Structure 1
Amino acid sequence: MAKYKRILLKLSGESLQGKQGYGLDPEVLASYAAQIRTVAEAGVQIGIVIGGGNIFRGMTGVGKGFDRVRGDQMGMLATVINSLALQSAIENAGGRACVLTSIPMGPVGAGIYSKFRALELMREGYVVIIGGGTGNPFFTTDTASALRGVEIEADVLLKGTRVDGVYTADPEKDPAAVKYDRITFAEVIEKRLKVMDLTAFTMCMENRLPIIVFDMDTPGNLERVLAEEGALAEVGTLVHN
């Protein structure tokens, strides 16, 4: 049995590129879709926000001469592409999913995002993927995931990454880095650890929305994180009040 009834899952766009270095890796999409379908079939209501870094990142565009607002708008469109790809992968895996967008996009997806539409679809058994970030420039998809998580009254925000939790330093650069099994919001701020961007992190802290950072790239980890009797310390880190 899952310990959470409703979750907001934040996925990295860069993770979707797999080993290709760009774009969408069908194997990664299939792995994510299988994990998501398994959890959804267990009765967990799932909202998802995906980044767009595998296609275009707004801040990268600024460095190449794009206006920040236009660059962020291009990044929002990249998240919609990723959202549609994940929807297709979930449906191919036998699940039910739909895409809501933060900005009007006509026939793309199932309509414009609203809390009430998202909850209605979740109660009908759909995985709801929210594309387009917050719909505004200058906000990251981390912030979008925190905002949507608070709006839909999720029990927890799950940040799926390629690292299995929060460490004292970047484990990919420092082999001596030590992993935290659980840590408070205050300790993260005091130790200046990077979990999410500050706007997103503050929103979760102020609204008492716990965060679990875990390795989504290992098949079965999503189910392990949510298992009632699961050993969270083995697959992730809990950030809480």
Structure 2
Amino acid sequence: MSAQGTNQTTAYHRILLKLSGEALMGELDYGTDPLRVQAVAGEIAAAHARGVEIAVVVGGGNIYRGLEAAARGMDRATGDYMGMLATVLNALALQDALEKAEVPTRVQSAITISEVAEPYIRRRAVRHLEKGRVVIFAAGTGNPFFTTDTAAALRAAEVHAEVVLMAKNGVEGVYSADPAKDPAAQFISELTHREALTRGLQVMDATAFALCMENNLPIVVFNMADGSNINRILSGSHVGTLVKT
């Protein structure tokens, strides 16, 4: 049982929240918007106050976007390690904002960076969650050629999360096509993992989807820009798109 107590009114007891780096960028071209980070931390803090155990996997696109020119022509593995380091920066920024909101938080990194983060140890992560601490998983899987989507699916399975919440930046959920390019794109309220793979819907990469499907992990794809969505999902409301086996 978590230190903050279990609230029986929530639809999920343990969740994994996948945040894109862009969700922390706000209106900036790249980098981290302190007000946006504060807003995201507030939503997580509100969920934490309801007794939900929360793990977070954060991307690094907001920082890596500013490095793209420097990374052009680099070896893929080197570029991926740069991206992993970008996720560590985002994890530390989010940790600071959460602790300012009086939410106990730990950062665990898949690459060794002991001065600023714990190493990723599954049992320790689970214990932190049980103690009511938010755990932020940084540096993806620690391996090049794998996305932070795959890291989210992997960590969710490892810590026995009940659902993966995929936060999108300004997108309500899954569509039949890219709504920014195709005005005829239709919103999809619910589908299976296999349907998403078959139709080539870009919710997660194929490796991440396969992990979720094999472990019967449902995915809720929702708009992070609406500050009430996480709370509504935890209350059992149908928000965004539900992907399940």
TM-score, structure 1 as length reference: 0.93
2:144 corresponds to 1:140 = no
Alignment correspondent of 2:198:
190
Alignment correspondent of 1:237:
241
Alignment correspondent of 2:81:
73
What are the equivalent positions in structure 2 for 1:143-158 lying under 5 Å apart?
Answer: 143-158=150-165
Q: How far 1:190 moved relative to its partner? A: 2.3
Q: How far 1:63 moved relative to its partner? A: 6.5
Tell me which amino acid in the other structure corresponds to 1:236.
G
Aligned partner of 1:159 among 148, 166, 170 = 166
Instruction: Work out the CA distance in 2 between the residues paired with 1:195 and 1:119.
Output: 27
Aligned partner of 1:42 among 35, 50, 59 = 50
Alignment correspondent of 1:98:
106
Contact 1:4 1:44 in 2 (8 A): yes
Bigger Cα displacement from structure 2, 19-28 vs 182-191: 182-191
Aligned partner of 2:125 among 111, 118, 125 = 118
Q: How far 1:129 moved relative to its partner? A: 0.2
Tell me how large the CA RMSD over aligned residues is.
Answer: 1.7
Aligned partner of 1:206 among 191, 209, 214 = 214
Instruction: Work out the CA distance in 1 between the residues paired with 2:72 and 2:154.
Output: 29
Instruction: Work out the CA distance in 2 between the residues paired with 1:23 and 1:131.
Output: 17
Q: How far 1:172 moved relative to its partner? A: 2.0
2:68 corresponds to 1:64 = no
2:229 corresponds to 1:226 = no
Alignment correspondent of 2:26:
18
Kindly tell me the number of residue pairs found equivalent between the two proteins: 236
Contact 1:169 1:177 in 2 (8 A): yes
Q: How far 1:123 moved relative to its partner? A: 1.1
Instruction: Work out the CA distance in 2 between the residues paired with 1:224 and 1:22.
Output: 29
Tell me which amino acid in the other structure corresponds to 1:31.
A
The 1:69/1:115 distance shift into structure 2, 3 A limit, reads same
In the TM superposition, what whole-angstrom CA distance separates every residue of 1:46-103 from its partner, at most 9, and x where no partner exists?
110010011116x957971111111111110000000000001111222221101111
Gaps of 5+ in 2: 1-8
Q: How far 1:155 moved relative to its partner? A: 0.3
Bigger Cα displacement from structure 2, 196-205 vs 219-228: 219-228
Gaps of 5+ in 1: none
Q: How far 1:175 moved relative to its partner? A: 2.3
Instruction: Work out the CA distance in 2 between the residues paired with 1:221 and 1:134.
Output: 27
Instruction: Work out the CA distance in 2 between the residues paired with 1:88 and 1:159.
Output: 22
Tell me which amino acid in the other structure corresponds to 2:162.
D
Instruction: Work out the CA distance in 1 between the residues paired with 2:196 and 2:210.
Output: 11
Contact 2:23 2:224 in 1 (8 A): no
Instruction: Work out the CA distance in 1 between the residues paired with 2:180 and 2:234.
Output: 26
Contact 1:62 1:68 in 2 (8 A): no
In the TM superposition, what whole-angstrom CA distance separates every residue of 1:99-156 from its partner, at most 9, and x where no partner exists?
01111112212x1111111111111111000101100111000000010011001100
Contact 1:62 1:71 in 2 (8 A): no
User: Stretches of 4+ moved more than 3 A in 1?
Assistant: 59-63
Q: How far 1:173 moved relative to its partner? A: 2.0
TM-score, structure 2 as length reference: 0.92
Q: How far 1:34 moved relative to its partner? A: 0.5
